[in-house]
Amino acid sequence: MLPQVRLQPWYPGQLGVPGSDVQRGLRWSPTSIVLYVDPDNNNASDDADGTDPENPLITVQQAVDQLIAFQAAFAESLEGSVIVVAAQATINEDVLVPVTAPAWCTIMGAGNGTYNPIWNGDDAATPNLHIRQQGWRVTGFRFRPPANSSAIRLDWRLGTTDNGNLCMIDHNKFFGEWRGLYGIELYGAPFNTQILHNYFEEIGSIGGGGGAWAICVTDTGQANPYEDKIIGNIFTENDNHVGSVASDRAWNASFFQANVFHEGVLNPTTLKLDLRGGTRGYNIVTGNYMGGVYSNAGGYWANAATPNQCWVGNFAEPTPGTVADNGITVQVP
């Protein structure tokens, strides 16, 4: 029988804290870092490097700027980096992610609750978060859309360096509180965007009839957003849910599945899903709950150019010719 061998305890350095073996902080992938933002922390300072959760940054913008500076200093991409915002934080700033930022990064709200950090923004005419670089993910926030702009704006414009494609916006709440213009704004034609499992509520003026949208295509000078996925979202009490402010712009070859388009009570929704502006169409709309009447008058519009696109297998009030007696849609509205 072998004798019991008692080893000295081994406590590795806490990654991302001074004294760590990794000077750049916690490594998420081979060339990435994690930065911490907590404006309520007594040790918070935008003069910090942001890699130490005990000495975090004050602002999200400084975290984005740090990624740009670190990327230049290390002379390698910091793709895959993560900005973690403390659970109790309130963000009162407008943040720009420029094309010089690394791609494929994440801004996430920490904590185990639902939509923990609140993102108010600063200027009523400026997006709370403006993304002009590809592959960014935003998750875990409660956004309050500004009165004359968007909570999140994604840019892709032909002939420019803007490249807000392939982004993922998931598990956020966009809470207008009877104000706000856009929850998510697609400016130009961001493609392969994923908008997943968000909650859009009270965007617009109480009583309805206004020009606010939960998700909206706004630029009229580009192609249409292509191969986007709008899946598992809940839309309620908004002026309009999903569509475009331009008659010649909407989605092409995109997927709308497992969403709930509520009729609205205090704010009856005018347009719930309006795809008329898509020049090619071929969208797939299936497995959604279509509140109210499943018709054009009820706020549902297929693409005008190719109305034979797939709008079947949704759930709605039975309507002869379009919705079977079991509530399953069989034709475009």
273 and 311 in contact (C-beta within 8 Å)?
no
- Which pLDDT value is given to residue 27? 52
173 and 199 in contact (C-beta within 8 Å)?
yes
199: β partners: 173, 234
Provide the residue ranges of all domains of the chain, joining segments of one domain with +.
Answer: 123-301
| Exposure string over 313-322, b if 16+ CB within 10 A, otherwise e | ebbbeebeeb
Give pLDDT tens digits along the chain (333 positions).
445 544 444 434 334 444 444 454 555 566 788 899 999 999 999 999 898 888 999 999 999 999 999 999 887 888 999 999 999 999 999 999 999 999 999 999 987 767 789 999 999 999 999 999 999 999 999 999 999 999 999 998 776 788 899 999 999 999 999 999 999 999 988 999 999 999 999 999 877 668 999 999 998 677 788 899 999 999 999 999 999 987 778 898 899 999 999 998 988 899 999 998 877 778 999 999 999 999 999 999 998 776 567 888 999 999 888 898 899 998 888
d(CA 102, CA 80): 8
For residue 10, give every residue at least 6 positions away whose Cβ sits within 8 Å of its Cβ, in sequence order, or none.
Answer: none
- Which pLDDT value is given to residue 303? 86
Residue 66 DSSP SS3: helix
238 and 180 in contact (C-beta within 8 Å)?
no
204 and 210 in contact (C-beta within 8 Å)?
yes
228 and 191 in contact (C-beta within 8 Å)?
yes
Please name which of 174, 303, 304 lies closest in space to residue 239, comparing C-alpha atoms. Answer: 174
Tokens, residue 163: 């490249």
198 and 164 in contact (C-beta within 8 Å)?
no
- Cβ-based neighbour number of residue 220 at 10 Å: 13
